[in-house]
Structure 1
Amino acid sequence: MKDYIEERVLELARYITETGATVRSAAARFRVSKSTVHKDITERLLEINPGLAAEVKEVLEKNKAQRHIRGGLATREKYLHQKSDSHNH
C-alpha cells in the first residue's frame, strides 16, 4: 500500500475516534468520497492496525444507530426555518 494512503487511513481513523465524526463529515473534512472513507476504515485499516479498526467500528456503529435521530432533527430544522421564513414575508 502506498505510504500516503496508509497515512490518510490512520489520520481518518484518529479523526473519527477522537471526534466521533460520521463517515460523511470525515469525508468532507479529508476531501475524499464517503466510499473512500468506508474502504479506508473497513478494509485498509484492518490490515494496518486491527485494534484501531475495532475502535473506529464502534464509533461508526454508534453513529449508525443515531442516524435516524439526526435525520429527524434535520427535517425538523428545515420545516422550522421554512415556517419562520413564510411569517417574515
Structure 2
Amino acid sequence: MKDHIWQRVMEIGNYILKSGATVRDTAKVFGVSKSTVHKDVTERLPKVNAHLANEVKKVLEVNKAERHLRGGEATRQKFRTQNPL
C-alpha cells in the first residue's frame, strides 16, 4: 500500500472514531467518494490497524442502525421548509 493511501486510511479511521461521522460525512471532509471511505475502513484499515478497524466498525454499525431515523428527520425538515404552517 502506498504511503499516501496508508496515511489517508489511518486519518479516516481516526476521524470516524473520534467524531462518530457517517461514511457520507467522512467522504465530504476528506474529498473522496463514499466507496473509497467504505473500502478504506472495511478492507484496508484491518490490514493496517486491526484494533482501530474494530472500533470504527462499531461506530459504523451504530450509524447504520440509526440511518432510518436520520433519513426521516431530513424528510421532515425538507417539508417543513417547503410548506410552513
Q: TM-score range by the shorter chain?
A: over 0.9
What are the Cα deviations for residues 5-43 of structure 1, in whole angstroms up to 9, with x where unaligned?
A: 000000000000000000000000000000000000000
Unpaired runs of at least 5, structure 2: none
Specify the alignment match of 1:35 in structure 2: 35
Specify the alignment match of 2:45 in structure 1: 45
What are the Cα deviations for residues 29-59 of structure 1, in whole angstroms up to 9, with x where unaligned?
A: 0000000000000000010000000000000
Specify the alignment match of 1:18 in structure 2: 18
Q: TM-score, normalised to structure 2's length?
A: 0.98
Moved over 2 A (4+): none
Unpaired runs of at least 5, structure 1: none
Structure 1 vs Structure 2 CA RMSD: 0.8
Equivalent residue pairs, number: 85
Task: Determine which structure has more spread, i.e. the larger CA radius of gyration.
Answer: 1
Q: Distance in 2 between matches of 1:11 and 1:49?
A: 12
* Residue identity in the other structure for 2:55: E
User: 1:76 aligns to what SS in structure 2?
Assistant: helix
Q: Distance in 2 between matches of 1:83 and 1:72?
A: 17
Q: Distance in 2 between matches of 1:82 and 1:39?
A: 37
| % identity of equivalent residues | 60
Q: TM-score, normalised to structure 1's length?
A: 0.94
Q: Distance in 1 between matches of 2:68 and 2:43?
A: 26
